[in-house]
Structure 1
């Protein structure tokens, strides 16, 4: 009889962990079917996970089953949605920079981090990830004229984006003209290190893109907006952007 290879066992164990995280409870019969293993093999895998420190729990009776304690994993750090997005975004930015050193596993790390959180939080974070786009690096001429925005302005923009609040901004165009307008920050785009807001502009009653470093002041507006589909903004951004 040929022993199961180490790679196959590792893959099966990782899949078992993923299954346990994906549902509140699992019946052993359902886990066996998903993994294609015997009851004995399943029990051995669960026992080995327990020995490795995974908090495997079981409950008898109707509605019971086997589960992985929901408080186990990265979520025990008690990160909120914004902190999770910022962490995943940092990994995505590093991935986009294509550094030859210490970045080969970033994509896998990003996915594992995302999967480590409870389903409710994953859904909220997933919706935010779809609204954050990363493209190529900005050109040298653009970077030479870039000025880091003030922290208070960045905080107001982030809050308006995350909570879908309207945002009143004082904006300076490329020509130096300044206007005050109320915008809805539907999507944000990054050409490292330049951030852009893809927004609905109430002054022009149309979609517009704003460079964040040209926003001279930003104030939260109490009213919230409903998210428009990305297709409504395709005319003002290049399609090579990828969501994080």
Structure 2
């Protein structure tokens, strides 16, 4: 019993490797190659299909066997952070409404959304309305722009999606540092510079923060309620802390 089990496991590996080689072969020839009957081979194929291998077969005598032509884009395992970053990126692309980006965004979104819990789906669905696309940044702003740290971007994305307050170390345009607790309500892109439209607990008012000037981020337990954009704009000073 053990011998036959090991034999079958090895045979399944050989069949999988042979199909991945992408060389044309018939069911009969593959059965001979692995030393089994076509009936046994068909049972093996059923097992591999159940494991998720996208196998196509041609009906009839001498029918061929192959992997589905679109296989290769197969299953992708994303970490939670990667999934959050990807969903925010998709929301940005949707908000830009560029035909170049829109072709397959809907199907991609649906496939990724399928992996989220109902509560998470609700949050993700609201992302598009919380991302604002503006004009490109001026040469003055670009003169002192630096790309934000990857770690900071990931933490900001997570807090933004989960409507979670964060503590930040922020350096303003006068290079003065301060520690603030903020609620990241909206993201604003003035390409390539990102801003956070936030509620600032220190000022007890709305403020704008440039993402590349956020030097450190620490998540804080809790959840805030989204303030309507029109209300937030009314409270933001004419000269933001950028």
Shift of 1:145: 0.9
Task: Output the CA distance in 1 between the equivalents of 2:176 and 2:126.
Answer: 35
* Alignment partners' CA distance in 1, 2:88 and 2:165: 21
Deviations 1:11-70 (A, max 9, x none): xxxxxxxxxxxxxxxxxxxxxxxxxxxxxxxxxxxxxxxxxx9xxxxxxxxxxxxxxxxx
Worse-matched range after superposition: 167-176 or 122-131: 122-131
Does the C-alpha gap of structure 1 residues 91 and 227 become closer, same or farther in structure 2, counting only changes over 3 Å? closer
Give TM-score, length-normalised by structure 1. 0.55
> Which sections of structure 2, spanning at least 5 residues, go unmatched?
1-53, 55-72
The correspondence of residues 227-242 of structure 1 with structure 2, limited to 5 A, is 227-235=226-234, 236=236
Query: Offset of 1:135 from its aligned partner?
Result: 1.3
Counterpart among 84, 87, 96 of residue 85 in structure 1: 87
Q: In the alignment, which residue of structure 2 is the partner of 1:45?
A: none
What is the alpha-carbon root mean square deviation over aligned residues? Answer: 3.2
Residue 183 of structure 1 and its aligned partner are, at CA, apart by 0.6
Alignment pair present for 1:187 and 2:189: no
How many equivalent residue pairs?
Answer: 159
Question: Pairwise mapping of residues 28-177 of structure 1 onto structure 2 (< 5 A)?
Answer: 77=76, 82-89=84-91, 91-92=93-94, 95=96, 104-114=99-109, 117-118=113-114, 120=118, 123-177=122-176
* Pairwise CA distance, 1:203: 0.5
Provide, for residues 168-206 of structure 1, a one-character-per-residue CA deviation record: whole Å limited to 9, x for no partner: 111111122221111111111111111111100000000
Give matches, 1:178-217, under 5 Å. 178-217=177-216
Quote the Cα distance in structure 1 between the aligned partners of 2:74 and 2:165.
30
Report which of the two structures shows the higher radius of gyration computed on alpha carbons: 2
Taking structure 2 as the reference length, what is the TM-score of the superposition? Answer: 0.55
